[in-house]
Structure 1
């Protein structure tokens, strides 16, 4: 038996593999000053109450101060959240993050009169102001968005009350994060090298990809045994999280929680329903792929712990992070020299926090404030899948880089509906590059399997999650309580539908609902699936059409939130208001499955 492999402490990670968060604040004292400053600015903003319709000049002054307040508050929150994410066990940064969240709630309270008062200005007068004052013209789309949701904006007094309780209503997300990232432990197993390893969020999928079936089984069982012990606490947390969504939608007079969530992006409910419908119509493709998987693995029955292991065993390779960066550069080459130059600058100037350490938030993300670097959190372990994570998150960060350079603060963010396109275009380009340059049949089979898995885990799996959210919110809207037993039963049924008879529905998988962080941001995950479909079409356009498609795509990256997501994607040549992009993605998936069948 080998030595135990331990997760490193934060101070054991070399500086060059950590993000340069100090570029946001030289020290925590500077952060404290910003918190105090923005709190005073928010209080002072009250002088605009009752005056927004006074004149174009007054409205412009209010808009500029509003931007300054939120831009500063965003920077303070992002910094505290990222410091907490470095090591969730550090109480100082837990407290700073809590303080920043409280600060955001206080600012919302102080400024809660803003939107109701904008709505009290006659529309004709508001647009006269915009025409009169050049500085107001950039806010035209923002005002359009406010007016579109007019029926769901409450009185100034009611908005003030909701702003005051927002800190409480967001608590379930933090509770889940503390359980999931700081408290829960999955125990140790012996890996395929004979080494004792602790099962973590960061290495779990890697263990499920082990070609030693006993390793996969043990990792799977250890993971869900830990969640089983916390099932009632986690069920109560998710139940109240869902209730907040439902009650908030009712208060704002939306027909349902899902329609409330879609309204922000101006997405028609048919887009969500079409996604689930088209995917459900094509589940036979997953059943077909699972049968190929069962045969290639040489097992009588396929279990849930068998669905991640690569079907073709490639030589074991630990890809150094520097090599991963080379692969990323080669993958995005079709996006042009300027894109690569900008990306290289990011890698070299401290955008990325690379390796896992004890207490670090699991998974990966791209973050940052409008006036900071577009930071990336990774938990890089050297697998090929980690290379895809790097290029995925860099897609997000490049999107942010282009947008923040081109757009004002108010349009400096992205809807997830468009953000996931930027990340997945990068992934698609890398995969197509690797497939084109595969050295032999074995490598091509391995890559085809990996590409199929991207489709399965993004398009099919995220749609399954989206359907689960639809079921849970509908249940709460009917007055039902989401108990651990109910959640596990419903999730189990859904899992069986999506995997079919080709896979044994191991009882532990019914607890998977308990470990999905995205469920605490309702009706979010469907955007991964729609984004994947759009990106599949866009990446092919870039490869087929060259410069014009690339220019259109870069123009899309620069657009930020300056229009509604469906309209923005049309810049890049895709219309997501129709089901065709989902169907095209299904055809692409079918083609990959057929290619794999031919090679088996």
Structure 2
């Protein structure tokens, strides 16, 4: 027998492929020293309580709060990144836990600020800001705060809510432990008849198998396990939604949807318009399903057939250094400055490239105001990994620009904007690869990749959004919901979205239980709006060159210095209209036409 291929240990990975976390702290001892300073000094913030009545004191509090918040974020980054390098390392697990516990306490130190500021008469506060030169840089922050005045509670209630925040996460934590720790899936037969222990990790590969019996078995085994636990999953989700509704009512919002969107000045109509626009264009998805059925030569198409590649094309093995060059070629329309930042980031140790034993799965970009951006990858030499590199570096360069150009209070862009820069990079890259492709199978593969991206990021996420909307509205009306109700809502949505060609298997009814995003209220629609905004930016950059790039860089530099809708509008994308989503539908239609032409 040949040697079993095993995951490398952390220490076996070449240093040049590891992120440079030591640029945050050189050692755990240096971390501990700053942690002790934070614990000793941060409680001083509580001394400002009851004293925020003049510009000088308000400014002093804001700068002190910034100082300790920045230090807390830096500590958080070190502990989390070290833990994610090897989640089995008990030393770093302990650091992460210690930081988590402390940050809940830290939040209570500053919980009084908003209610105390908003307890001041509005005109008095405006005069304080107007007559205090140092507070000018906080103008937009105060405008935003005043716009939320009716939703901020007394300092006593805000402090209680801050202390209860960890408990309010219980439904999400229960769901996570159930799905990630307690569930055990059955053994199924693979393509060569070998026995495979099904896991969430290998399901994504098995559902793409060319062997129908393999993907059907994986599909039924996976959702069969979720079905067995539907009552627990259902109770957790109902509890989570009730928490969001409770928060909305306590803070005097008309609905949980408004509570989620209004703090960023996003009208609820943006959400509802996106859902309506996708419903108006479901014929395109039905056309795609029909085309996929033909490409796969199926008598009938089932839910478990959706992820099967339409071609046998296999990407060549792509070394990481080559992936960097491919991405740079794809991002060339963004100009020299952008590419230089990309290059510098790779060389400076932003990226943790390869998997190792115990390393956190997936990919992300993260960082704080006083650290460089960090990118976690689990690079596996495939074309998808190249796209992931482009995506995560899009996040990181967005963060780089916003931290460089904005003061601390405006450096974090909102969730509504979070996926725009990353997806713009992906779209530019795949357009470049499609245009370069001469081989029929490669072009077919790439076109279908982009169609799948829109199907999963726009159609699918807006189906998720519709599920959330229906579920919340039912509970807000006072109607009871059961797991059976969730199953029916989910089934009916799948029938509507995928059309009459699709056999909507009963196993799919429980899929809602598999979606962790439902525990982050009204989050998923932003993938769809983000993709649509990115599609608009990418098209504009490709059509209009340098002028469009400058507008786009303005977006990257804006952070949260204005409301997200306005940040996009200034850069030429208006999400208050259905235009960006409709334009994405036109892109989807044009890709369908290319696919039909190829075959």
What TM-score range do you get, normalising by the shorter chain?
A: over 0.9
After TM superposition, list the pairs within 5 Å mapping 1:290-329 onto structure 2: 290-329=289-328
SS where residue 419 of structure 2 aligns? helix
Structure-1 separation of matches of 2:279 and 2:8: 43
Tell me which moved more, 429-438 or 183-192.
Answer: 183-192
Deviations 1:115-141 (A, max 9, x none): 011112333333333333332111111
Aligned residue in 2 for 1:408: 407
Aligned residue in 1 for 2:339: 340
SS where residue 418 of structure 2 aligns? helix
Aligned residue in 2 for 1:478: 477
Pair 1:352 & 2:351 matched: yes
Structure-2 separation of matches of 1:492 and 1:86: 39
Quickly say closer, same or farther: Cα 1:441–1:479, change in 2 above 3 A.
Answer: same
Aligned residue in 2 for 1:25: 25
Quickly say closer, same or farther: Cα 1:269–1:123, change in 2 above 3 A.
Answer: same
Aligned residue in 1 for 2:460: 461
Structure-2 separation of matches of 1:76 and 1:240: 32
Quickly say closer, same or farther: Cα 1:6–1:305, change in 2 above 3 A.
Answer: farther
Deviations 1:40-73 (A, max 9, x none): 333211221222123x222211110111122222
Aligned residue in 1 for 2:175: 176
Structure-2 separation of matches of 1:199 and 1:322: 33
SS where residue 59 of structure 1 aligns? helix
Tell me which moved more, 81-90 or 509-518.
Answer: 81-90
Structure-1 separation of matches of 2:316 and 2:571: 37
Quickly say closer, same or farther: Cα 1:584–1:137, change in 2 above 3 A.
Answer: same
Tell me which moved more, 367-376 or 136-145.
Answer: 367-376
After TM superposition, list the pairs within 5 Å mapping 1:380-399 onto structure 2: 380-399=379-398
Structure-1 separation of matches of 2:133 and 2:185: 58
* 1:14 to partner: Cα distance: 4.1
Deviations 1:210-245 (A, max 9, x none): 333333334333433443444443333322222211
Tell me which moved more, 326-335 or 116-125.
Answer: 116-125
Structure-1 separation of matches of 2:176 and 2:546: 44
SS where residue 240 of structure 1 aligns? helix
Deviations 1:409-435 (A, max 9, x none): 111111121121101110110111011
Deviations 1:251-295 (A, max 9, x none): 111111111000121100100000000001111111110001001
Tell me which moved more, 238-247 or 458-467.
Answer: 238-247
After TM superposition, list the pairs within 5 Å mapping 1:178-577 onto structure 2: 178-186=177-185, 191-192=190-191, 199-480=198-479, 482-577=481-576
Structure-1 separation of matches of 2:178 and 2:84: 14
Structure-1 separation of matches of 2:67 and 2:143: 21
TM-score, with normalisation over the residues of structure 1? 0.93
8 Å Cα contact 2:313/2:442 also seen in 1 = yes
Quickly say closer, same or farther: Cα 1:132–1:406, change in 2 above 3 A.
Answer: same
8 Å Cα contact 2:315/2:382 also seen in 1 = no
SS where residue 500 of structure 2 aligns? helix
Cα RMSD (Å) of the superposition? 2.5
* 1:588 to partner: Cα distance: 1.5
After TM superposition, list the pairs within 5 Å mapping 1:129-148 onto structure 2: 129-148=128-147
Quickly say closer, same or farther: Cα 1:305–1:386, change in 2 above 3 A.
Answer: farther
Structure-1 separation of matches of 2:535 and 2:104: 39
Quickly say closer, same or farther: Cα 1:173–1:93, change in 2 above 3 A.
Answer: farther
Quickly say closer, same or farther: Cα 1:145–1:334, change in 2 above 3 A.
Answer: same
Instruction: Mark the runs of 5 or more structure 2 residues left unpaired by the alignment.
Output: none
Quickly say closer, same or farther: Cα 1:521–1:92, change in 2 above 3 A.
Answer: farther
SS where residue 264 of structure 1 aligns? helix
Pair 1:123 & 2:122 matched: yes
Tell me which moved more, 134-143 or 145-154.
Answer: 134-143
Aligned residue in 1 for 2:62: 63
Structure-1 separation of matches of 2:357 and 2:224: 21
8 Å Cα contact 2:261/2:268 also seen in 1 = yes
Structure-2 separation of matches of 1:179 and 1:262: 29
SS where residue 315 of structure 1 aligns? coil
Quickly say closer, same or farther: Cα 1:295–1:591, change in 2 above 3 A.
Answer: same
SS where residue 376 of structure 1 aligns? strand
Structure-2 separation of matches of 1:305 and 1:45: 55
8 Å Cα contact 1:181/1:362 also seen in 2 = no
Instruction: Mark the runs of 5 or more structure 1 residues left unpaired by the alignment.
Output: none
TM-score, with normalisation over the residues of structure 2? 0.93
Structure-2 separation of matches of 1:348 and 1:193: 43
SS where residue 78 of structure 2 aligns? helix
